[in-house]
């Protein structure tokens, strides 16, 4: 950029005579200004286009990884009764919901490890973008040769257990156990670096508890590492 400006300045000084600029010098200066303006516009729009495209690709990849990890868990054939023991009183009302905290935390660890291992295997994202996209015009976005764009990525995952009770129908309560998965994707591209945050949930188990359930459960979302659901 500095070389262009320096060259233009030399030409300008060489062409100026009696305070006037020659026609070739004027044309060159206009062309140089247009090239510089277009380059700046191209970089600004290009950075936005690259970020939007790769962010969508990263989101799709992460969601696919989380769903694939969920399939591993489903193949274990572990159900609600393995995670929780529900006891009732003589009136048929729920007296206590006891959690198998060891198994629950083990499943959480398995899911988090599976997701992270799959993410670690993905170190590169690539896309082919029509050059028309870089004009910022919707009409021209699909025209022109395709420009390959690659991004080096590093992803980190963490999970949060959630136990949720909600009313369903008359005197019924839906109990869900799920793992909320959060992934931070750091992407390095020629135009800079940026971060994409992706989240999704994995349903571990759910059931409908018939009869009256203690009000301390209804409407509460319990997020804890131990899921101690015994009533006070």
Query: What pLDDT digit, counting tens, does each position of 31-67 carry?
Result: 887 777 666 666 666 677 778 888 899 999 999 999 9
**195-211 per-position pLDDT tens digit:** 999 999 999 999 998 87
Q: Which of 185, 153, 180, 154 is nearest to 59 (CA)?
A: 185
Distance, CA of 200 to CA of 26 (rounded, Å): 58
Task: Tell me what pLDDT residue 228 has.
Answer: 42
Strand partners, 79: none
pTM score, whole prediction: 0.71
Task: Tell me what pLDDT residue 139 has.
Answer: 61
Distance, CA of 127 to CA of 152 (rounded, Å): 12
Q: Is the dihedral of CA 216, 217, 218, 219 positive or negative?
A: positive
Task: Tell me what pLDDT residue 148 has.
Answer: 82
Residues of the chain with pLDDT under 70: 1-21, 37-46, 131-144, 213-232
Assess contact for 126 and 135: CB atoms under 8 A: no
Tokens standing for residue 183: 């992934």
The number of residues making up the chain comes to 232
**211-220 per-position pLDDT tens digit:** 776 655 544 4
Task: Tell me what pLDDT residue 54 has.
Answer: 85
Assess contact for 164 and 219: CB atoms under 8 A: no
Q: Which of 109, 131, 129, 103 is nearest to 227 (CA)?
A: 103
């Amino acid at each position: 950029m500095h070389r262009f400006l320096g060259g233009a300045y030399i030409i300008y000084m060489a062409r100026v005579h009696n305070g006037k600029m020659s026609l070739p010098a004027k044309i060159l200066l206009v062309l140089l200004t247009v090239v510089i303006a277009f380059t700046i516009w191209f970089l600004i729009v290009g950075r936005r286009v690259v970020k939007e495209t790769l962010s969508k690709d990263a989101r799709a990849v992460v969601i696919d990884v989380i769903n694939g990890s969920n399939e591993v868990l489903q193949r274990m054939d572990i159900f609600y009764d393995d995670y929780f023991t529900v006891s009732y009183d003589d009136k048929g009302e729920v007296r206590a919901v006891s959690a198998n905290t060891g198994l629950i935390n083990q499943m959480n660890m398995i899911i988090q490890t599976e997701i992270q291992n799959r993410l670690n295997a993905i170190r590169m994202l690539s896309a082919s973008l029509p050059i028309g996209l870089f004009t910022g015009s919707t009409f021209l976005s699909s025209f022109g040769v395709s420009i390959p764009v690659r991004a080096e990525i590093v992803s980190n995952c963490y999970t949060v257990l959630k136990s949720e009770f909600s009313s369903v129908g008359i005197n019924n309560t839906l109990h869900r156990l799920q793992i909320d998965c959060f992934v931070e994707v750091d992407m390095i591209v020629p135009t800079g670096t940026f971060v994409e945050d992706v989240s999704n949930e994995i349903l571990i188990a759910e059931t409908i508890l018939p009869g009256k359930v203690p009000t301390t459960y209804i409407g509460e979302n319990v997020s804890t590492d131990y899921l101690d659901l015994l009533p006070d």
